[in-house]
Amino acid sequence: MSQSSLATADQPQITPSQNGRSKWLSQRSLDEWSLGGVLMIGVLALFICVVLPIYTLLSKSIENKAGDVIGLENFSHFFATPSLYSAINNSLLIAFLSTFIVTTLSFLTAYGISRTRIPFKGLFRTILVLPILAPSLLPAISLVYLFGNQGIIKELLMGESIYGPIGIVIGSCFWTFPHALMIMLTALANTDARLYESAEVLGASPMRTFFTVTLPAAKYGIISVAFVVFTLVITDFGVPKVIGGQFNVLATDIYKQVIGQQNFEMGATVSVILLLPAILTFMTDRWLQRRQSALLTSKAVPWSAPKRLWLDRTFFALMVLVSVVIVGIILMAVYASLVTFWPYNLNLSLNNYNFDLMDGGGWDSYWNSIQMATFTALIGTGFIFFQSYLVAKLKGFQLLKWCFHLFAILPLAVPGLVLGLAYIFFFNAPNNPLNGIYGTMTILVVCTISHFYTVCHLTATTALKQIDAEFESVSASLKVPQIKTFWRVTLPVCMPAVLDIASYLFVNAMTTVSAVVFLYSYHTSLASVAVLNMDDAGDIAPAAAMAVMIMMTCMIARLIHWFLGSVLLKHTQSWRQQ
Amino acid sequence: MSNQAYLALQNIHQMFGSHQALKDVSLNIQEGEFVCFLGPSGCGKTSLLRIIAGLDTPTSGELFQAGDNITQTPIKHRDFGIVFQSYALFPNLSVADNIAYGLVSKQFNQHDKQARVSELLATVGLSGSETKYPAQLSGGQQQRVALARALATSPGLLLLDEPLSALDARVRAHLRQEIKQLQEKLGVTTIMVTHDQEEALTMADKIVVMNQGVIEQIGTPQEVYAHPNTPFVAEFVGEMNFIEAKRSGDGLMQSGTLMLQCEPDSETTFGENVTLAIRPEDIRFNGHEGDKNNLNAEVLHLEFLGSRVRSLLQIDDHETPLIADISMNEMSGLNLTQGQSVRCQLPADRLHIFGGQA
């Protein structure tokens, strides 16, 4: 028994007569202590990058310009000003309408994909999630070209203006739809053929089966979609900014208060109000997750849809319709970006891609975005996955893990706009030793990782929980340091999840506007912000061109992801195939 | 602390919140012994194994291995190999890499490693499987690889956590023998956790029967089966009929109108309520007239079990019928039918007496 490993040299010899301190220290080996140290750093990092900024924001909302605590005065001022107050009604109206439309449509299309026998399901699925690759500004710009003052089909609106609630609702539905569809597909994927067979044997009509079997099983998914869409819409600021016209919503109000009027305190106040629906959604989602997992108790037998001619035809027509709308909106933006001078010179050219001639940062902002997205994907994936690993697989450190999990879930409840503002308050404070990163690429990367932290953390945690819980015990019993097992076993096994996280971070870093719009500087302008600024300056065609560039970049990123995931991994990791 | 025992557990307590998983467990294990922790789920056997492995720390109590106090020692400084119920084979590593996983210290060069892996694979009967991946192996083969991996570093102690429960019956019976032979050959001190009494009886040198966090009995398989200390052990290991009775004389027990002669014991007192127990195979049908403990019974039900027949016997003024197993050989002479009356005997030397169990 001479399995002396590298770490044993400075390990105190255990004797029956040990004092309390060394007893406590010696319960863990040196590498467990060092991994615990890394976890500690992770908790501190999240505390600084998520908790403290939000705390600063909350305290700002009850302060005046001079920094004195004035209680809820800002809030009473907000509610006493009709122009500000009306934004709440407007936001609610938009959010409710969009939620209703997207929930219905996503349920129907998800049903079409998972429960009917229509052809081309894979193609439809790809098309329906395309909007996720575009910044939320793209549909808004497309709508301007379709229904705006010089729009090609503006007659369809029968005199109504696209600038306002109609435009915001259509644009919001477009970009939130893929998020809803993905949740809905998961909810409808859990079928149990035995239930359908029982219903049939008991003589239930198809309608009755739908209401007693299909709908209850998807219930939590539907509720979840409704809350997620509601929050996404009410906290989004890109669409209302471009196509909202004079129609005030909460998200644009924050922007106006902060960027337009430099009224940071009122911005903080509106942010706090915006935090409420997000927190409500967050809590509902947590509650649903617990209920949902209770549903999946037995091993279900997958159900395959029977041939139902008319139903299949109807759903096929619906899928074609929705796909045409999505592709139409995307193609409109692409076309608009290529037209030389709308609507007078319809010759195609790449003039609009000459970004250096416009305001908004030019091609530099595009390359900045690439740089920012790459850093976000690399650093973010590394940090998130390793920290999730420590939370899931390191022995002990219960309190640290609990804190970490809490901090990691928190960003889900914080809209990007609110987080961006919180970052201004926290990092721009003169007495903050970290204020050197204000205005740099670093703060953009840190903010973007924090903003999208939760989904990545949960993806990593799910993947880690699926692998055998005893790997770490086995390697410890074989005297192999835990970090080596991470590198040789855990990481390769979780590679698909790691790629998912990296790709998710990259795409979101490319398309996000909400948080970074407060944080970019002259030297770190981003492509998505450039879309906004060019649109603001009236350069709508170049804005469309930049939005198309972002979308194409995301498509390429997804292709690389697909290549790495299904081609490379399958060839290098032959053990997966059995 | 005991200097003779290889592994000594002293007054181990384990609390999970308010639930007491282990209550004052003390146990000595000699070098080279094969010990089974046997008990129903939730009895604390796995908790005890996890404490020995260092996966959990006991709330109180101490643990000594080869004379050293290892109660607080981290896993990687302990000397043991472990096989989990799930095997926990690394799916992305080949069989050879899995087995060589622990062979990292400087004393192994590439050639030594390969030689050791081949040797271990030969030992577990899987020569030539070096380049395969775990998913390409059957459950029984995966089990052997896990065993080879645990043995690779020649640990002084081998821990097996329900190693056979995920396998089907035939493979299980086969591997049972193999593991036992391997253990005897290597002479490695082994602790196996199981809920399967047959596994424990066939493999162990010593069985530790546990229930609700305490050790009910420690003994050889023969002792535990033939002389159970408690009704729990009697019922959990093998099958047992129980008869409530009251002591009415020296070695004389009265149950209803029935007077049963037992072997004299010193633990019960006159008039005390006792529980008598007898195994189904110990009830006899070929007794002679005038033998003690003869009684009349009605055959309620007969069940054919292949090599034997299980009969359900109703005895006068006893509510619970007795189960009696009759070998097919004996059955051919008896020719029992359902509903018939039969004379059977409960031999005095096969009646177990548990005092104080009213």
A18 lies in some domain: no
The 10s digit of each residue's pLDDT in B71-84 is: 988 888 889 999 99
A1 lies in some domain: no
Interatomic CA distance for residues A110 and B196, integer angstroms: 48
Residues with Cβ within 8 Å of residue A196, at least 6 apart in sequence? A209, A213, A303
* Token pair recorded at residue A109: 């299309």
Task: Tell me whether strands B241-249 and B157-161 are parallel, antiparallel or unpaired.
Answer: unpaired
CA distance B100 to chain A (A): 10
Contact state of A29 with B77 under an 8 Å Cβ cutoff? yes
Contact state of B72 with A578 under an 8 Å Cβ cutoff? no
Which SS3 state, helix, strand or coil, does residue B74 take? coil
The answer to whether B236 touches B209, Cβ cutoff 8 Å, is: yes
* Domain with A111 in it: 28-576
Nearest to A14 among B73, B82, B107 (CB): B73
B335 conformational bin, left if phi > 0, alpha if psi -120 to 50, beta if neither: left
Nearest to A476 among B75, B90, B155 (CB): B75
A11 lies in some domain: no
A49 vs B289, more confident: A49
pTM: 0.86
Interatomic CA distance for residues A318 and A341, integer angstroms: 35
A6 lies in some domain: no
ipTM for the assembly: 0.81
* Token pair recorded at residue A414: 């914080």
* Token pair recorded at residue A360: 């908004």
Residue with tokens 């790709």: A503
Contact state of A16 with B90 under an 8 Å Cβ cutoff? no
Instruction: Find, in chain A, the residue whose alpha carbon is nearest to that of B70.
Output: A14
Contact state of B77 with A8 under an 8 Å Cβ cutoff? yes
The 10s digit of each residue's pLDDT in B196-206 is: 999 999 999 99
- DSSP assignment of B96-116 equals HHHHGGG--STT--HHHHHHH
Contacts of A473 in chain B (CB under 8 A): 53, 55, 75, 82, 84, 88
Task: Tell me whether strands B157-161 and B189-194 are parallel, antiparallel or unpaired.
Answer: parallel
Helices A453-466 and A362-393: crossing angle, nearest 10°?
40
Q: In this structure, which amino acid lies at residue B350?
A: R
Interface of A with B (CB under 8 A): 1-5, 7-8, 11, 14-16, 18, 23, 26-29, 31-32, 395, 468, 470-471, 473-481, 488-489, 492-493, 573-575, 578
CA distance A119 to chain B (A): 34
* Token pair recorded at residue B85: 């119920």
For position B320, what pLDDT does the model report? Answer: 87
For position A27, what pLDDT does the model report? Answer: 67
- For residue A200, the tally of other CB atoms under 10 A from its CB is 14
Helix (H) or strand (E) holding B211: strand B206-211
A397 lies in some domain: yes
- DSSP assignment of A253-304 equals HHHIIIIIT--HHHHHHHHHHHHHHHHHHHHHHHHHHHHHHHH--S-PPPP-
Contact state of A493 with B92 under an 8 Å Cβ cutoff? yes
A194 lies in some domain: yes
Contact state of A1 with B155 under an 8 Å Cβ cutoff? yes
Instruction: Find, in chain B, the residue whose alpha carbon is nearest to that of A491.
Output: B92
Interatomic CA distance for residues B82 and B49, integer angstroms: 10
Contacts of A27 in chain B (CB under 8 A): 57, 72, 74
Whether residue A343 is preceded by a cis peptide bond, meaning omega within 30 degrees of 0, is yes
Interatomic CA distance for residues B46 and B281, integer angstroms: 32
Interface of B with A (CB under 8 A): 1, 53-55, 57, 62, 68-70, 72-82, 84, 86, 88, 90-93, 101-102, 104-105, 107, 133-136, 149-150, 152-156
- For residue B13, the tally of other CB atoms under 10 A from its CB is 15
Digits of tens for pLDDT over chain A (578 positions)? Answer: 333 333 333 333 334 444 445 555 666 778 888 999 999 999 999 999 999 999 999 998 888 887 788 888 888 888 888 877 888 899 999 999 999 999 999 999 999 998 899 999 999 999 999 999 999 999 999 999 999 888 888 888 888 888 999 999 999 999 999 999 998 998 887 777 888 888 888 988 888 988 888 888 888 889 889 988 998 898 888 899 999 888 989 888 888 888 888 888 888 888 898 888 888 887 887 787 777 655 544 456 677 788 888 999 999 999 999 999 999 999 999 999 999 888 888 888 888 898 888 777 789 999 999 999 999 999 999 999 999 999 999 988 889 999 998 999 889 888 898 999 999 999 988 888 988 888 899 999 999 999 999 999 989 998 898 888 889 989 988 988 899 999 999 999 999 999 999 999 999 999 999 889 989 998 899 999 999 999 988 889 999 999 999 999 999 999 999 999 888 777 777 777 64
* Token pair recorded at residue A497: 């999840």
Query: B159 has which bridge partners?
Result: B82, B191
Contact state of B69 with A14 under an 8 Å Cβ cutoff? yes
The answer to whether A450 touches A300, Cβ cutoff 8 Å, is: no
Q: In this structure, which amino acid lies at residue A102?
A: V
Contact state of B150 with A29 under an 8 Å Cβ cutoff? no
A565 lies in some domain: yes
Interatomic CA distance for residues A503 and A493, integer angstroms: 18
Which SS3 state, helix, strand or coil, does residue A149 take? coil
Contact state of A578 with B133 under an 8 Å Cβ cutoff? yes
Strands (DSSP E) found in A427-472: none
For position A12, what pLDDT does the model report? Answer: 39
Nearest to B122 by CA among B182, B174, B81: B182
Query: B315 has which bridge partners?
Result: B297
CA distance B79 to chain A (A): 7
Q: What is chain A's alpha carbon radius of gyration, rounded to the nearest angstrom?
A: 26
Nearest to A1 among B93, B104, B156 (CB): B156
Instruction: Find, in chain A, the residue whose alpha carbon is nearest to that of B91.
Output: A575
A12 lies in some domain: no
The domain tally of chain A equals 1
* Distance in angstroms between the alpha carbons of the first and the last residue of chain A: 37
Contacts of B57 in chain A (CB under 8 A): 27
* Token pair recorded at residue A486: 């991470």
- Return the HEC string of A330-359: HHHHHHHHHEEECCCEEEECCHHHCHHHCC
Q: Kindly report the CATH number assigned to the domain that includes residue A514.
A: 1.10.3720.10
Interatomic CA distance for residues B63 and B76, integer angstroms: 16
The answer to whether A369 touches A550, Cβ cutoff 8 Å, is: yes
Query: A489 has which bridge partners?
Result: none
Instruction: Find, in chain A, the residue whose alpha carbon is nearest to that of B69.
Output: A16
Contact state of B53 with A23 under an 8 Å Cβ cutoff? no
CA distance B136 to chain A (A): 7
Helices A441-451 and A495-511: crossing angle, nearest 10°?
120
CA distance A35 to chain B (A): 14
